[in-house]
Amino acid sequence: MEFLTFNQLVQLIVATPGAVFIGLSVAWLLGWPGKEKVVARVTAVTYIGLTILVAMLAWKMISSGTHMVTVDLGNWFEIAGYGFPLSLMVDRLSLPMVALTIVLVGLVGSFSIRYLHRDPGYFRFFLLMHLYAFGCLLLFTAGSLDLLIAGWEVVGITSVLLIAFFQYRKAPVDNAIRVFGTYRIADICLLLAVFLAHHWFGSGAWAVLFPGEWPNATHTITGPGMTFMAVLLVFAACGKSSQGPFMGWLPRAMEGPTPSSAIFYGAISVHAGAYLVLRIEPLLQSSPVARYLLMFVGLTTAVLATLIHRTSVDAKTSLAYASMTQLSVIFIEVSLGWTTLAILHTVGHAIVRTAQFLRAPSMLHDYHRMHAAAGGHLGKVGEQYEALVPHRVQLWLYSLGLERGCYDALVDRLLLHPLQRLARQLAVQKNSFTDPTPRQPAGETPSSLKPHA
Amino acid sequence: MLHHAAHLLPAQGPIGVFVHHNTLHAFQHLPFEEAVVKASEIFGTEPYMSEAAYRRDLARGRIREEDLDAILASQPDSDILPDGRLTINQLRRVMLSPGLRQLDPRSIEWQLEEGDWKRVFRRDLSEAAKKSLGHDTPAQLWDACFERVLPHRLKTASRIARPRDGILATQGVDLDEVVHPLLIRLCSVFLDQGLAYWPMPEREKGFWGAALTILLQPLTIYPRGLEGLGETLASFTQRRLTSEEAILACMEEFGVAESEWESFVEAQLLALPGWAGMFHRLEAEPGLAPHVHLPYALADFLAVRLVLTLGAVKNVLRSPAAWRTESTNEATERTQRLCETAALFDAAQLSGVDSATLRSLSDEALEKWMSEIRSFDGIERRRTFHLAYERRHERQILIPLAKHLALPAAAPQTSRLAAQVFFCIDEREESIRRHLEEIDPEIDTFGAAGFFGVAVDYTGMDDAHGAPLCPVVVTPQHEVLEKAVGDQEDLHRRRRALRRLWAKFFRNGFISSRTLVRGWISTATLGFFSVFPLALRVLSPLAHARLIAWLNKAFLPEPRTELTFERQDDVGREAAEGLLRGFAVEEKVNCVASVLGPAGLHKGMARIAVVLGHGSTSLNNPHESAHDCGACGGRRGGPNARLFAAMANHPKVREGLVSRGIIIPDDTWFVGGYHDTCNDDIEFFDLDAVPEDHLADLDRVRASLDEARARSAHERARRFEAAKPDIDFQRGLLHVQERAEHLGEPRPEYGHCTNAVCIVGRRETTRGLFFDRRAFLVSYDAGRDPTNENLGRVLGAVIPVCGGINLEYYFSFVDNERYGCGTKLPHNVTGLVGVMNGYQSDLRTGLPWQMVEIHEPVRILFVVETTPERVLASIRANPQLDEFLTNRWIRLATQDPDTGVIHICRDGVFEKLEGDEEPLPVAPSSKAWYGGKIEHLPVARIEQPNAPKLAV
């Protein structure tokens, strides 16, 4: 198997979905209508090919005992000896994530060929799905923070665009914007971390920051910047994985079509945060503050998310909070340094959730069968922990779960509302400054935007 | 009061049992055209398809110009311009086709300046119009129009019916966005039928009580916009108000006078019709709730809704009563004038009226012209288009039918039929019946409502509870249980134990993957392995289905069973149950006679008769039950067929039937079966009871049915783009089987989509006709029904059922977002009662787009094989049917049993069918006719070249 070297394999794997995305978009821009059959065929061939490639890569790495493959793509730019090196890296952490991405995107793609058949957004969906796969692969194989953030942003923007997939209704667009805003705040942390890495340590490359083979890597980050960096990255990870201060967006992301909910919020996208904390695990080990923060975030989110899950009654929201719960557990595992378990958990959880999301529309059917098989009486559930506390506390806990931990209420009242008020005041100020007759800024959508049958 | 307001709410119950009904049932006392417009005003919906859609149909020939002429000709006419230069109908005719150009008032000035309106006349003018316009230039004509048009001021006031509307208009705050998220969450947890891991505590107190308890927990932070809700709520709990009292108290605070109560309540309920409708439905029929029985009450819902609204309003207004406001959108005078000028300008061109004539018109004539233009507005034009659309459909069906009737009938000429097969009247069975008769011309098929006269509360071996298998309007009086036969009792027990174990395992897997601790253990350890079933299921649904079937066979063998339906005549009703155990002989005779009587088996009974109930199994389909048998109340009709066969085989029943004039020969054997309309499987019951000397007969009909289901599946596959057009019959069958098993398939089958006709008559008259799975076929023989008794019974069953199905499809198609439930893709099953869009929305009722997308919205056309007088007498005798007919919710025609002449009912008067512009194509086989085509196909006559020439 010498006809493809490690370098070629890794490059091929990452580049293929990107090339498919570019090819399809160019064809579309040139006036091609985006025929369903062609898109389906291209998708199938792409993911069969990718599955073979990733199997070859894995086989090669295992059989040759290679733990890490780095691919140097040269420098993005270079000024006076200081460069932004672009490199890809596949090691024992990224390989499972890459394989997981390819297998699950492939399966969800196959599912979607049928699911979205005849939908006006068919082409758009597959275009975004390929771009998303490219973003994920780039994120997982990035050899540096600089490249990781590129993949990270691609994943983020495709995620938002697919939440707003049904763009002619108001709710999906509102919720997509809210998710977008949440992502932005979390991404600022990541961006800041990239700047600081370059500023303080002269590079964003994993090889420089974390020399050695993961999980036995060390890190070169020292001094007061260390804790700050680690905390920033933990926050960034929380944003992607809907943890701690960013926990509110995940149920809102359920507006998209079922397969995109599966692949983003059951499978890959939400686990990108887990990947990031796993990647910086050596740093966490020497930064107690960041480690405890991670553990604290994980613990609190786990308790709250599982409480909310217990009260959720619709298929998708309940899955969203179930996902969030397990992501918290993964965060806790990482904070304890149980990296192997965390990887196993990530892979297993991603697959289970994908399967469950894809089955969500069949839930009624499944439930009927289960109910009949059980003889009409399903045992009582939900009394294990609740029964331990007095009835009054139970009611309070239930109310907390039903109100989704009052998260939205707090964010709206403490953050969004004051911000909006400030913006409105500034707008009035600006108007009175530039315009002698002050006007109330219009806040209504024109009726022309209303969909018409 | 509440009750009256609630009648507008959707009548759909929990989605597990979906019963088709007229979406506008509340308006059925009005004529159709009036009802759709009135409903569109109340609900903000579309009454018909869009004008653009009708114009597309006109362009592709689905509507013909002559249809428009015919519809206009049936309406009163008078002069607009003197001397017959322009009449109302002439004006309407040009307004329909080619039609006035539409201008958006918001950009009218720009369009007039930048477009070529004033530079050239329209290019689609008739020669006559061009000639009469003479030397006029467009600019001259425009100026003349502009001078003459007096602006007609239109005020369109938006309806301020509830506080939310008023506050939205004055403050720009949408209270629905504040109140709904919380209200929807409360409703969904309250109505949940077992999806939540932790059911809502204290919900047995009712929604009002439970919601107050949950909302009034200490330290609750209320969502933005509901700050201070706690105090509002507390004031209600302190006064210990019931929900009714709370509603009155809220309305008092909102300053709603008693005279406005009803409209106020109506507007409140219609803001979230799906959830409100579910409360209403469950309150009326608590038995509909599949698992959880609570005190459901619409008043509770309304009280919670109003209290939340009150809480929200208090944050915006000082006094809650100050929500009323006057809001009108007024188009500017100039825009209005330009719009009217443009309309007149176009109308003048199309009618060939030049500027000089226009200037010389009297004010009176001009005003008449303008008002006619205004009154023939979008709705009126769409109504006319729709009538033309239906007229063409009517002629596409009736003319070929008349031609077919004039040709020799295609009935098997044999001393004794090979078999008789009874199907449900369902239009989805039309194809398999036709194919079956094509395969074996010595088989006759019949259509009867799919519960086969056996209204029963049935508990199958694998069922947890009994379920009524009969039309929803009937309450079953008899109970039947399926039991393992004596020596199979052990097998049954083992099966039941294993199934319970499986259920436990499945449920635990379901729960434990989602909770905190168990989820941790299971996803981290076993999670990876779920990739194998997932991949198999997604990549090869059929292989997965086969694996499951094999596992079932290996570990869960089905015992042979029997039905306990015998009852001694003298054993009465068991007081506690209220249900009769099984059927007495006399009752069985009634059941069998109700099917065999109208069917008219004048050819005599064959040695074997097969009775097939039907249902549908599919995945990715919360609306699965909508594909089941409507005559079985949205359930699967296999047991009914099995029971019917068992009854008809009963010697005493046969004895009893003789007195009803129904003679079943001793050597006739009935076999019950079940047809799955999604994967086209056919299963037979009680085969071990078939007498040995009937096995050969049975084999013959089974082989034919096996071939027929493949062909029928193949015919179904033609409609799906995903199936290649050149596949053979077996591949067609595999295709539909895969659809039934595919996790991601949003269209497992098209269901009743495309239903359009219901033919009540002998099969001979329709045998050999290709109806494209669009016609319900009901067997009825007028010759055997001198008293009209059977007709009354048959129509009493089929008009409400087929009419309900048809109208539900009509409305879900013409306004899929509001009458239907939109595209399936973002649907999210909630609480096992229904689906929402995305993560929280109103409960969506009606049919999804994927179920209706290829539908042609026409009112169903009944063609009854009898005389006009007889059918009218039967319909008039039944007020419900009379309402359907008089208010034009259905269309009706008759075909004379003796002469074959067709009469069409127009407002109670029958007129003879004239004209022959629609052809009756002839094809050698069904496949030759439909092969490779995906669109709706016209009626065709199938004449097999090698089949024996059949003549009567």
Chain B partners within 8 Å of A336 (Cβ): none
What's the angle, vertex CA B664, arms to CA B658 and CA B665, rounded to 5?
A: 120
Residue A453 has its nearest CB partner, among B50, B186, B526, at: B50
Q: Does B463 touch chain A (CB under 8 A)?
A: yes
Q: Is B348 left (phi over 0), alpha (psi -120 to 50) or beta?
A: alpha
Same domain, B634 and B676: yes
Interface test with B, best of A394, A397, A402 (most B CBs within 10 A): A402
Same domain, B638 and B522: no
Chain B partners within 8 Å of A413 (Cβ): 221, 224, 227
CB contact (8 A) between residue B829 and residue A171: no
Residue B455 to chain A, least CA–CA distance (Å): 22
A450 band by pLDDT with thresholds 50, 70 and 90: very low
Beta bridge partners of B761: B779
CB contact (8 A) between residue B828 and residue A318: no
B340 band by pLDDT with thresholds 50, 70 and 90: confident
Residue B829 has its nearest CB partner, among A329, A360, A417, at: A360
Count: domains in chain B: 4
Is B836 a member of any domain? Answer: no
Residue pLDDT, tens place only, B693-718: 999 999 999 999 999 999 999 999 99
Residue pLDDT, tens place only, B252-303: 999 999 999 999 999 999 999 999 999 999 999 888 888 888 999 999 999 9
CB contact (8 A) between residue A345 and residue B227: no
Residue A348 has its nearest CB partner, among B46, B217, B524, at: B524
Closest CA to B635 of B643, B624, B646, B645: B624
Instruction: Give the integer Cα–Cα distance in Å for B615 and B600.
Output: 26
Same domain, B343 and B234: no
Q: Does B826 touch chain A (CB under 8 A)?
A: yes
Q: Does B186 touch chain A (CB under 8 A)?
A: yes
Boundary of a domain, candidates B368, B389, B410: B389
Chain A partners within 8 Å of B510 (Cβ): 370
Confidence (pLDDT) at B952: 35
Same domain, B218 and B268: yes
CB contact (8 A) between residue B831 and residue A119: no
Instruction: Give the integer Cα–Cα distance in Å for A14 and A293.
Output: 33
pLDDT of A219 strictly over 50: yes
Residue B406 to chain A, least CA–CA distance (Å): 42
Nearest CA in chain A to B849: A119
B523 band by pLDDT with thresholds 50, 70 and 90: confident
CB contact (8 A) between residue A453 and residue B817: yes
pLDDT of A1 strictly over 60: no
Is B774 a member of any domain? Answer: yes
CB contact (8 A) between residue A362 and residue B743: yes
Same domain, B520 and B646: no
Is B946 a member of any domain? Answer: no
Instruction: Give the integer Cα–Cα distance in Å for B321 and B196.
Output: 39
Mean local confidence (pLDDT), A347-361: 94
Percent of chain B with pLDDT over 90: 62
Query: Which residues, 6+ apart, have CB-to-CB distance to B753 below 8 Å?
Result: B809, B851, B852, B853, B854, B855
Boundary of a domain, candidates B555, B581, B612: B555
Q: Does A258 touch chain B (CB under 8 A)?
A: yes
Q: Does B50 touch chain A (CB under 8 A)?
A: yes
Amino acid sitting at position A310:
R
Residue A207 to chain B, least CA–CA distance (Å): 30
Mean local confidence (pLDDT), A343-370: 92
CB contact (8 A) between residue B534 and residue A358: yes
Q: Does B462 touch chain A (CB under 8 A)?
A: yes
Is B106 a member of any domain? Answer: no
pLDDT of A234 strictly over 50: yes
Interface of A with B in 393-452 (CB under 8 A): 394-396, 398-403, 406, 408-410, 412-413, 416-417, 443-444, 448, 451
Residue A270 to chain B, least CA–CA distance (Å): 15
Same domain, B194 and B141: no
Confidence (pLDDT) at A382: 61
Instruction: Give the integer Cα–Cα distance in Å for B278 and B16.
Output: 13
Q: Kindly list the distances between the CA atom of residue B309 and the CA atoms of A244, A274, B246, B305, B314, in Å, as whole numbers in the listed order.
A: 31, 42, 12, 6, 9
pLDDT of A445 strictly over 80: no
Q: Does A389 touch chain B (CB under 8 A)?
A: no
Confidence (pLDDT) at A441: 41
Instruction: Give the integer Cα–Cα distance in Å for B290 and B298.
Output: 18
* ipTM here: 0.91
**CA B878 to chain centroid:** 23
Is B59 a member of any domain? Answer: yes
Nearest CA in chain A to B329: A447
Mean local confidence (pLDDT), B310-337: 81
Token code pair at residue B621: 């389909």
Same domain, B797 and B649: yes
Residue A326 to chain B, least CA–CA distance (Å): 6
Is B20 a member of any domain? Answer: no
Amino acid sitting at position B358:
L
- Give the position of tokens 């927990």: B217
Chain A partners within 8 Å of B465 (Cβ): 376
Same domain, B39 and B84: yes
Chain B partners within 8 Å of A417 (Cβ): 224
SS3 assignment, position B675: strand
Total residues found in chain A within this entry: 453
B130 band by pLDDT with thresholds 50, 70 and 90: confident
Residues spanned by the domain of B527: 486-555
Report yes or no: B690 and B669 within 8 Å, Cβ to Cβ: yes
Chain B partners within 8 Å of A360 (Cβ): 828-829
Mean local confidence (pLDDT), A141-162: 95
Same domain, B645 and B550: no
B882 band by pLDDT with thresholds 50, 70 and 90: very high
Nearest CA in chain A to B499: A373
Confidence (pLDDT) at B473: 81
Mean local confidence (pLDDT), B328-336: 70
Percent of chain A with pLDDT over 90: 69
pLDDT of A311 strictly over 70: yes
Q: Does B824 touch chain A (CB under 8 A)?
A: yes
Residue A376 has its nearest CB partner, among B201, B465, B746, at: B465
Same domain, B695 and B757: yes
Confidence (pLDDT) at A225: 83
Q: Does B204 touch chain A (CB under 8 A)?
A: no
Is B840 a member of any domain? Answer: no
**Buried-exposed string B408-447: b where 16+ CB fall within 10 A, e elsewhere:** ebbbbeeeebbbbbbbbbbbbbbbbbbbbbbbbbbbbbbb
Same domain, B762 and B694: yes
Chain A partners within 8 Å of B223 (Cβ): 403, 408-409, 412
Interface of A with B in 328-347 (CB under 8 A): 329, 341, 344-345, 347
pLDDT of B508 strictly over 50: yes
Residue A346 to chain B, least CA–CA distance (Å): 7
Residue A87 to chain B, least CA–CA distance (Å): 30
CB contact (8 A) between residue B513 and residue A365: no
| Contacts A–B by Cβ distance under 8 A | 300
Instruction: Give the integer Cα–Cα distance in Å for B605 and B607.
Output: 7
Is B723 a member of any domain? Answer: yes
Query: What mean pLDDT value characterizes chain B?
Result: 90
For residue B580, give the DSSP letter.
Answer: E
For A365-374, B569-578, B807-816, which range has the lowest pLDDT when averaged over its residues?
Answer: B569-578
Bigger pLDDT: A108 vs B137: A108
Q: Does B951 touch chain A (CB under 8 A)?
A: no
pLDDT of B947 strictly over 70: no
Mean local confidence (pLDDT), B824-838: 92
Same domain, B768 and B669: yes
Boundary of a domain, candidates B286, B304, B323: B323
